[in-house]
Amino acid sequence: MTKPLIACAVLAALLSACANRPQAPAWQQDARGALDGFTDDWLRGDTGAAEAEFARARRETAGTGRFDLVAQAELVRCGVQAASLVYECPGFAALAADATPAQRAYAAYLDGRWQGLDAALLPEQHRAVVASGRIGATADPLARLVAAGALLKAGRIVPDDIGSAVETASGQGWRRPLLAWLGVQERRALAAGDAGAAGRIRRRIALVTDGGQAAP
């Protein structure tokens, strides 16, 4: 499976070394590896492993004494969790006063606080989401789920994008966001009085939850 791309483009600028520069310090490589590990573990639903990886990333970035780097690591966690409809982001909130304007804008975007949001401060793929209210042509699977999560939090998501979020998570084998978005589909089917659709969704949820194990 292709390693998920980090949703916020600023991270790459902060944690990557250019090819024509000396080898990156070890903390950069370790922090990036830990954030990638966190992302994979979280999306697969392994909370314990994800928390351990994130703690390592936080230690590596905190060792620099730079608020922007630690805030960016926290925003990666916020974005990955928002893809699974988990919006609590206390780690970033504690650093918000010392974060950059772009970082605060991205946090507001994830939290659905779009009123007065300067979309020009967002990563490019998310600017289009704010402008259109749709996932649109966002190609990266993780960015698509982050955008869908932000749209849902903002109360602007449409049924087609809920379906797109379900199938994006399904196609990547990402258990946690798949269950979260199937839950959204189920609730909407029940609200619409569509018992047949709700039943099909529940069976799909059971399949994911049970790991495909047949009943004895």
Task: Quick: pLDDT tens for 23-66.
Answer: 788 899 999 999 999 999 999 999 999 999 999 999 999 999 99
C-alpha of 89 from chain center: 12
Nearest to 70 by CA among 45, 108, 34, 19: 34
Q: Compute the average pLDDT of residues 90-100.
A: 97
Model pTM score: 0.86
Compute the distance between CA of residue 150 and CA of residue 156 in angstroms, rounded to an integer: 9
- Structure tokens that stand for 8 in this block: 């916020």
Q: Where are the domains of the chain?
A: 9-174
Compute the distance between CA of residue 133 and CA of residue 69 in angstroms, rounded to an integer: 30
Residue 16 pLDDT > 70: no
| Contacts by 151-154, CB closer than 8 A, 24 or more apart | 152/85, 152/112, 152/184, 153/82, 153/87, 153/110, 153/111, 153/112, 154/112, 154/113, 154/114
Q: Compute the average pLDDT of residues 63-81.
A: 97
What integer pLDDT is reported at residue 166 of this predicted model? 98
Compute the distance between CA of residue 215 and CA of residue 102 in angstroms, rounded to an integer: 50
Compute the distance between CA of residue 56 and CA of residue 41 in angstroms, rounded to an integer: 14
End-to-end CA distance of the chain: 32
Across the chain, mean pLDDT equals 90
pLDDT digits (tens, 9 = 90+) for 145-164: 999 999 999 999 999 999 99
- Give the pLDDT band (50/70/90) at residue 139: confident
